[in-house]
Amino acid sequence: MDLQLKDKTALVTGASRGIGLAVVERLVEEGVRVVAAARTSTPALTETGAFVVPVDLTDPDGPERLVAAAVRELGELDLLVNNVGGGDGEATAGFLGVDDETWQQTFGVNFFATVKATRAALPSLLRQRGAIVNVSSNGARIPSSGPVAYTTAKAALTALGKALAEEFGPQGVRVNTVSPGPVRTALWEHPEAYGGQLARKLGVPQEQLLAALPGQVGMLTGRLIEAGEVADLIVQLCSPRAGSIMGADYLIDGGILKSA
Q: Which of 31, 144, 177, 14 is nearest to 83 (CA)?
A: 14
Q: Which of 195, 160, 176 is nearest to 87 (CA)?
A: 195
> Is 250 in the active site?
no
Question: Pick the catalytic residue: 150, 188, 194, 250?
Answer: 150
For residue 1, with 0-12 CB atoms within 10 Å meaning exposed, 13-18 middle and 19 or more buried, which class applies?
Answer: exposed
Quote the longest CA-to-CA distance of the chain. Answer: 54
> Which residues are CB-neighbours of 181 under 8 A, at least 6 positions away?
137, 138, 217, 219, 225, 251, 252, 253, 254, 256
CB 189 within 8 A of CB 175: no
- In terms of DSSP bridges, do strands 79-82 and 51-54 run parallel, antiparallel, or are they unpaired? unpaired
Residues designated catalytic: 150
